[in-house]
Structures are given as C-alpha cells and as structure tokens.
Amino acid sequence: MGNFARLKENKGIICGILAAVFYGTNPLGALPLYADGVNTSSVLFYRFSLAAAILGVLLMIKRKPLGVTLHEFKVLMTLGVMFAISSITYYLSFRYMDAGIASTILFVYPVLVAVIMSIFFKERVTKSTVLSILLSLGGIALLYRGGEGATLSTVGIALVMLSSLSYALYIIYVNQSSIRMSSLKLTFYVLLSCMLTLLLFSLTSPELHLQFPPSPRAWFFACWLGVVPTILSLVLMTIAVHEVGATPTAIMGALEPLTAVAVGVLVFGESFSLRLAVGIVLILLAVVIIVVGKNFHLRTIGHRLSRLLRKTWRWKS
C-alpha cells in the first residue's frame, strides 16, 4: 500500500471512530429534553432543522455554491428519507420495549451492511470482518442492562429492524452513489430532507405534534443534538465511508453504544460492572481488528481472546 493510500485509509479510520463517538453522545441532549416534556417528534425535528440551518450558514460563509443537479437532488433526498425513517422508527420502538433492548437490536446493521454488500455488490467478506462483527455484537449485548420485567415486543422488534435496515441502506447508498460533492454540502441536503420528512410525519401523527422548546436550557440541548451527534457525526461518517468503505465504517459504529455507556457512567452516575468492562473490551477488539486489517492474524486474535476470557472468568470467580 502506497503512502497516499495509507494516508486515506488512516483518515477514514479516524473519521469513522470519531463519527461513532460523537453519535453516541445523543443521550446528553435527548434525555434532558425528554425530562422537559418535549416529545420524540419535536426532539428529532429540532435536531435536524437546527443542524441544517447551521450547515447552511456555514456553507454561505465559506461561499460554497448550493446548486445541485436533478440527479443529485434525487439522491440527496433519498438519503435524507432513509435517515429520517431510521430515526423515527428507532425512537418509536421505545414505546414498545426497553430502550436498552432496542439499542442492542439496532446494532445488527453492520451485519446487514456486510450481507448486502456481499450479495449485491460482490464485496468479499473476510474472516476478520466476520470475527469483528461477532465480537462487536457480543460486546453490545453485554452492554445492555435490562430490568427483570423487560420483555420483547413484536411491533418493537419490527420497528428496530426497520430502523437498522434503513441505516444500513443509508451507509451503502452513501458508498455507492455516483455523486461527488463536499461532505458538508451532502450532509446539509440530507438534513434538509430529514427535516421535511419529520415535519410531514408530525402532521400525520396528532399525538406527535411539534412542540416549541420550553426554555433556554432546552434550546441549548437541541443545539447540542444538532451539532455533535448530527453534523459532526454525519460529516465524519460520510468521509469514512468514502475512504474505507461501508462495512468497516458500520463495524466501527459499535463504538456508539460504548460511548453512550460511558456517558451514562460518567455523567448520569450509572454503575460500572465487570459485564460492562468485558463488553467494552470485545467492542474495542472488534474495532482494532478492522483498523489493523490484514496485519492482524486470526490465530493471534483467538489466542489473545481466549486468554482474556480465562482471566475474566478467574476474576469473576
């Protein structure tokens, strides 16, 4: 691999990791808004509309042309609808099941990305990719902390699976689309499409009517959602998909629930356990395998993983 190709790959990896971490900060903005009585539709609408407004102002300050062709407009609007569907169905699933269960099921999307890329785009799925997916899914399952009464709902599962599929298709479409424009411009139009989709959704759902943020504090957290887990995350994710591909970027997304757990422990005072520690280690190992790629041999991975599990078992005993 030449120096330029290695530099592009490193850039993509860094962007993919940061995109996942930023997206995982959603609870920092969403939970205070929910506590203030703001409904799901309003949280998502203000998240995307504020993000689109900020990006639009930034593009005008940088004097970037906003014109697009009809083909580009169709692609960008499709991306926005996909992302909006993923967000709406994910948040609606909280009505039918525990949010922790929904978060766990959502992260089957790396598997969906790998399968779709393999079947329809003939992308070769390596052993290390399969192992990374299995480790990340296992780690995410360990991060889940459900109550004794937590149950699975057929409607809830269907909503989360639709959310996961929509997000997987969004990542693949970004990777496979023929349009070439700056990540800022692409994200601006995607967010604009998300905002319009959510506006239409709220008009067809009386119980999810739009609410005005009730206080300066609520506006602050709405802006937080618009900037950190939306603008920064989507722009960096777009760069990562273009530089390293859809499947590696999706697997690095396993850092999102890890970040959410860290936020819960450090900010909201949630407890930290051995189970969480092992889940975090498995997720980090999955990301390491993707980052180092071919230079990391499966035999070495298996040896280190078995040694880690033996140590963990002795600690638990």
Task: Give the tokens for residue 135.
Answer: 């480790």
Residues 138-150 pLDDT 10s: 887 787 665 555 5
pLDDT at 316: 45
Q: What is the per-residue pLDDT across 62-85, written as a single tens digit (0 to 9) for each?
A: 888 889 999 999 999 999 999 999
Query: Pick the residue with more confidence: 271 or 313?
Result: 271
Alpha-carbon distance 237 to 240, whole Å? 5
Tokens coding 201: 């959704």
pLDDT in tens, 181-200: 888 999 999 999 999 998 88
Q: Taking all residues of the chain, what is their mean pLDDT, rounded to a whole number?
A: 82
C-alpha–C-alpha distance, residues 242 and 255, integer Å: 19
Summarize pLDDT for 212-264 with one digit per residue, the tens. Answer: 888 999 999 999 999 998 999 999 999 999 888 888 888 888 787 778 778 77
pLDDT for position 294: 46
Q: Which of 150, 110, 115 is nearest to 133 (CA)?
A: 110
- Mean of the pLDDT values across residues 269-273? 76
99-103, 113-117, 235-239, 272-276: the lowest-pLDDT one: 99-103
Name the residue ranges covered by the structural domains of the chain: 3-316
d(CA 174, CA 172): 5
Per-residue pLDDT, 179:
82
pLDDT for the residue 165: 94
pLDDT for 46 beyond 70: yes
